Amino acid sequence: MSAKIAPTNRDHKWVYLFSEGNTKMKQLLGGKGANVAEMTNIGLPVPPGFTITTECCNAFYDYNRQFPEGMWSQAQASLKALEKQTKREFGNPKKPLLVSVRSGASISMPGMMDTVLNLGLNDETVVGLAKQTKNERFAYDAYRRFISMFGHIVMGVSSERFDFVLDRFKAQTIGGKDTDLSVAQLKDIITAYKNIIFAHFHGEPFPQDPLDQLRMAISAVFESWMRRRAIDYRRIHRIPDTLGTAVNVQAMVFGNMGDTSGTGVCFTRNPSTGKNDIYGEYLLNAQGEDVVAGTRTPRKITKLARELPLVYAQLTEIIDKLETHYGDMQDIEFTVENGKLWILQTRTGKRTGTAAVRIAVEMVEEGMISQKDAVLRVDADLLNQLLHPTIDPRANVPTLTSGLPASPGAATGQVSFDPDEADELSQSGTPVILVRHETSPDDFHGMASAKAILTARGGMTSHAAVVARGMGTPCIVGAGALKLDYEAGIAVVGKVEIRAGDWITVDGSTGNVLLGKVATIQPELDKSFKKLMSWADEIREMQVRTNADNGADALVAREFGAEGIGLCRTEHMFMGEERLAIMREMILAEDRGSREKALDKLLPIQRQDFIEIFKAMAGYPVTIRLIDPPLHEFLPDHEHLTLEITDLKLKMRDAGSVAEMDSILKMLAEKNELLLQVERLRESNPMLGHRGCRLGLVYPEVTEMQARAIFQAACELRSRGLEIVPEVMVPLISTVKELENQRAIIEDVAKEVMNSYGTQYTYKIGTMIETPRAALTADKVAAQADFFSFGTNDLTQTTFGLSRDDSTRFLPSYIKSGILPADPFQVLDTEGVGQLVRLGTDRGRTTKPDLKVGICGEHGGEPQSVWFCNEAGLDYVSCSPYRVPIARLAAAQATLRKQSA
């Protein structure tokens, strides 16, 4: 079971003592290793140790999961230095040195990788530890913890097998807690644990050699870098697989030595609200995993002031020192051993969007950071959380139970008790609430898929709470009244029974769990948000517009700071029973005259829609895209229509009268005629077929009607004194001749309409760049265009040769296997699609240096894509209304990144 050694450069430095590192070495030592080194160097009470580098992790995988040559000898040398510092010896029964083995990537991934505590214990050293500490119960409690942790994490034995034994022995005590176990019971538990491992490995005993234990634990931490939960976390947070994790080997200090010992986690500010108060939890007579695992209910950190006042005073002093030193909110782990405080680690604390904004703004006001630092400090994607709905206070819905409000926001979904089931249901489109006793890292895939998370146990720093806050998922923990039966698929609260599939609503802001579906309201953005956004707007160079197809959406976007509309999809205006009927009449018309009659009915409808949009965005440009999708999308589905015809034919046999038969025959004739038209318009590949500008070329009367509606709406509002800035966008061109043809039609209509109203105003005609050919010939296209807007959704399809709809079946496997770093329909592919954007922009501006260029796919609200657009010299991005604040902040960050490059 021991790890192997791979041949590499034996002189390469793989291992650093804490005294040799600092916070600037985060890429090499990982965040945890760099920070404990920094704390050591500034004189804080940190248990000594050493760090095995992230480079070693990558070498471990490069050499087929073997340690690189030189690493193990360096680790042994560092272990000797650790023995000298602690005056203890690894494996010596008389004065045993015990260590923890922890992961630590350069980007924090809380709860995703493995930790082993109390390593170095065996049947001999446990006796020595008991004599050394004069505390036999402590020593055997540490040993039983070590065997179960090592057996599960390193040896792969199910933790439930150990939990079953522990629960059985706890049930025999009066208090029912692990702290109530006697020494004799602890020894029996240890024997039972060893038997579990012996049986699991078919006669191979639990390893007794501490050096073997250390080698195996280091290997297990490296292995945890590529476990599913860690991979899933990196995919969601877009963390590269190549970073690797460091391994930190640190001398153990013990929080389970009695009532003057303990362990805890605290934040220098509230990670949910951002309030400038110490926030956290602790347990006396416990080890670190007891706090985060949720197996015991921890106490609020402020109560430590009464129980251990000197320790609390020292802790608050260190908290202030660390926040000032790092200039950011810190997440700190500590242990108290017989009244002495030890700081185990500090890291930049994960926080909600609300907290991130408030902390950044208040730190500026406190003089800790600059406005630019504040803008860079807030993850733009976190702003999504500020826009989450909350429970409508007028909703008269019974509260099922309540717990701790661990992560804000409200969500409704169907109950699932199993993370695998939750993941499957979510992928099929079902909103899910994951309900568990408590979560573990193995549940991560289900947590990531769930709309909200609810646990019966755990505190505000439990695994569920920390992970949910990092993802922005509503979460309630410690709902103690919730009694779960996984096998039966039932949760019981008092007399109320909730089954898998039942609907509940979780309010992560209040901690209330509500029965059924509950109405929600949109949040109000506070002064901290507005202040941060004002700083971002002063910094950013790019404009931010919105994609909106109606006046209501346009108003919402304007409230969020949109500076115009970058994409109004006119085809969405034809949806609705009355409008769709007229649209079908136009499609089914046999000649131009009949089509124009139908278009005359659509004209006033479109005009009124444009009036509402122009009014909402008065003073700002409004880019209206002419009809884009293929016409068959407005007709009934072929398969559905065929089934209707078959059904009518069956009804003919049962017709009870001549009148009923005549009615069926009439409907049958209409359906057959409609089916013929559907088949006539049917295409093998409609996304590359008769759509976009090609519709306007074949049916110029459609372009005329839409242009007339646009310019009439603009003229009417201008006559009322409003400033209207219309921009007409021709979709899906591949050649400049297509744009030239459509531009001539639009200009003729504009001239006619403005003359009829007796007014003149400036407007623009541009095009969407959605095909590689359009981008490659952008210098020619620009001669006929006043602006370009890159339609990156279709440009991604045509560049990759991927169907956006059909590729969902295999793209996840591409991402999981590393073929693609991210879904190219969510994050702009800068290597391929991005180069076409850059090339098209540059070539277009060789013809027209002042050519306005933007993008209008949903990439316009994705931070990494916004950063690229700024770098490529685009004038604006456009995105959905609720992503406008994200784009504003990301655009400012892009400007600052460029300035610092």
708 contact partners, CB below 8 Å, separation of at least 6: 603, 607, 749, 753
DSSP string, 276-327: SS-EEEEEES--HHHHHH-SS--EEGGGHHHHSHHHHHHHHHHHHHHHHHHT
Q: How far apart are CA 407 and CA 429, in angstroms?
A: 23
- ∠ CA 271-272-273, nearest 5°, is 100
Residue 512: DSSP 8-state: E
CA atoms within 13 A of residue 51's CA, in its CB half-sphere: 31
Phi, psi for residue 845 in degrees, rounded to 5: -80, -10
Contact 343, 363 (CB under 8 A): no
Q: How far apart are CA 254 and CA 88, in angstroms?
A: 15
Rounded to a whole number, what is the distance in angstroms from the first to the last CA of the chain?
48
Q: How far apart are CA 612 and CA 722, in angstroms?
A: 12
- Tokens representing 733 are 């061109």
- Tokens representing 309 are 């006042």
856 as an active site residue: the answer is yes
Within the chain, how many helices (H) and strands (E) appear? 34, 33
437 as an active site residue: the answer is no
Q: How far apart are CA 741 and CA 737, in angstroms?
A: 6
Q: Give alpha helix (H) positions in 618-735.
A: 638-653, 658-681, 693-698, 700-718
Residue 96: DSSP 8-state: B
Residue 591: DSSP 8-state: S
Beta strands in 128-253, from DSSP E residues, in sequence order:
245-251
Q: How far is CA 327 from CA 265, 366, 470, in A?
A: 19, 11, 20
Smallest Cα–Cα separation from 149: which of 24, 13, 288, 268?
A: 288
Smallest Cα–Cα separation from 456: which of 425, 430, 482?
A: 482
Smallest Cα–Cα separation from 480: which of 437, 539, 445, 532?
A: 437
Q: Is the dihedral of CA 349, 351, 353, 358 positive or negative?
A: negative
Options 266, 693, 715, 856, the catalytic residue = 856
Query: Would you tell me the crossing angle of helices 26-41 and 54-62 to the nearest 10 degrees?
Result: 150
Q: Is the dihedral of CA 309, 310, 315, 316 positive or negative?
A: positive
SS3 string, 742-769, reads HHHHHHHHHHHHHHHHCCCCCCEEEEEE
Q: How far apart are CA 789 and CA 778, in angstroms?
A: 12
Query: What is the identity of the amino acid at 440?
Result: S
Smallest Cα–Cα separation from 54: which of 328, 239, 329, 322?
A: 239
Q: Is 427 helix (H, G, I), strand (E, B) or coil?
A: helix
What's the gap between Cα 555 and its chain centre? 27
| Helix, strand, coil percentages for the chain (3-state, nearest 5) | 50, 15, 30
Q: Is 94 helix (H, G, I), strand (E, B) or coil?
A: coil
Q: 9: exposed, middle or buried (C-beta count within 10 Å: 0-12, 13-18, 19+)?
A: exposed
Phi, psi for residue 878 in degrees, rounded to 5: -135, 140
Q: How far is CA 758 from CA 618, 712, 715, 752, in A?
A: 21, 12, 9, 10
Options 388, 463, 632, 859, the catalytic residue = 463
Which residue numbers are catalytic? 463, 856
